[in-house]
Structure 1
């Protein structure tokens, strides 16, 4: 009897607990995420809430979280990616975060989907005495790329929280296509690490496609075989389409052209479908008068027509039409390849294998792009793997096709094969020679672009590249970095009196003296203007730079230079020195050294001045 009552009491407690928990969830469907908890950040979707606002509803045109009606129903994401198919609705997303640590920390709210027309971020902060909201960040494809604030193909929102601070991030998303909103909250180190990993993957992928496209172009140039050219076109078009879908084209090619950013996706889709059709038609050797040939003929003209149609119809229609066109092209080419294989055309087997891989990858990628599958980033990497496998198989099919053709030539005439092999070897040797010469020329050009032709010193471009890196290194390591600017005094008088040839001689002599005094491997002497020089001195403080510059000024003033009429002329130089301390960047360091140099000029020249110190008298 006692045991029965205990069981009843236990069940009552369980039901009561479940009731209280359900009430708490109903009242607060959006729990607060502890930002400094790595495990919580891994399950970010458990803390997200979203609201769908359709046209005509009060919240649809709300221009900020303060304007949202209190009756707006927030739905928890429930641990799932926020993925929405094509709709005219506006989506609001809410995330509340807190920092339970003892010091201020920075995180980035990362949205790993670049193809959004308009997205706005708000960050409101809750304290015991204040309710403040940070200015909204509005960006997306309908805005210039610089509107993102951070030069990155995805969207990064800095979230800075002091100890025990609570903030709520609101995101308003509206797009004319499908929506993927894959969010993650990462530390700066994690953001950099993820970016580096993806950069390596994308670099290898696009680099391989570029090399294959160029290689096929070279094969076309050497052999005149049409399908090599079409394969290069096919490879380049797929690479460019994925480049645009990944947000790289918007970031690097047209960052200020929002109209082209939206037009590029459907336009490149049509180009890709057309390239697939033309290459498949050529590679499979489909006769024009057959049913397959007539089908491909219609498909090719459809591709040309869609290219023109994309320029005049809305994005929402063109993206759907062109996607259907590409999927139809893949399916038709797969069927035709199957028929050609059954007809005994052996290269069609590898072509068919490539397209079967492509069919699966394209369906998954299109489903993710149109909002029917989550984890867009994983689908993007999967699509890259699929395209890579397809391109490898296609090129292998090209190799097999070439092998079969070569065997036919062998059967026809052995002598013809020998001559063909000789030509192939000659062309290959020419290609290797050309590539080697091009590499040598590029290396020489790169060296020349960083050297001053007159003096042999490094030029302004090299200094502009190196100085920011040295400043970052000095900030990171705490080691000193000093910049010295030197300018020849009254140099215009030298040119006006003795001519520019003698002036060039003086500049070369100054460069030689600088080289004699700047001996350490990491020290760099630069000519960045007509008679203006600079010394980049890492691991050197102000006193060390003063010793070097005093030695240079002493050597120059005591070294006569003979004019064309054998008259001895001595030069002097003024110098300005600034040590990297308290400067924000390389530009401020340069400005400090330049102001010190100006002070030396103002004091009568032939002297040096250190930034932030009492000017030193001439030695």
Structure 2
């Protein structure tokens, strides 16, 4: 560790330098406060300062005050050398300026060695603590970056998930995957495909009346009863978004789709979930739009989805708690309510 000896008397500097070097310290010398201050501008490590109180120009107290006020040199360990300055007022002035210790001239080598050892231990401890804090801060920064990256990854994984988080049934992504596969199967086999859109009637009013937690529970119950009544492994029921659900029935014509839709409508009504905000029933009900098509090379499942959505809109416009069925390509339309 370095020791900077600052004293305007050359003989004192020489004596102190020989003693301090003998104890294994690296010595730096300065004859006054000005030259010492310049030295501090290029030192970037813990250092003990043996500082004479009385010097021309910048005296020991003023230099000590500068060192402690500067962020670059605040962690130096300053031992002020005094010429029998044992007056309490002087000690207070020195400590107030930031001095860490005092040694009275003439200097006892044993005392100076002990005080330097104390300074070395304190600076070493401070330096180690700062290094640990720096390491901790870097670790914290790295962990924060990792957490941000994990949030991004989790967000992407959530997007890629095939299950609706709230209801536990397949989500819209599952629907798209199923439709893409099932559409080509129906096209190849020339089989009918039925798409049913389901909307919980007056659900916004339900949320406003009973609160969002109750709304979530309502959606869970509706999803569960719908799934219970769409049992074939070849079919799929999904949460389309918000209070809407979508169902695709494999190899099912319009009559079969209507039968399933009515079964679902009655099943939800039988749950008897109170909804005093509804304008059609004391309980939660659903409206359904049914579209059926036998795919050909000039059609797409987007057309099927749109027709089902249009049928749902018609069911809602005509009073809700009912279904409307459209047989795509044949122009047939049926209503049940």
TM-score by length of 2: 0.48
TM-score by length of 1: 0.27
Which one has more relative contact order, counting CA pairs under 8 Å at least 6 apart?
2
Question: Which is richer in helix?
Answer: 1
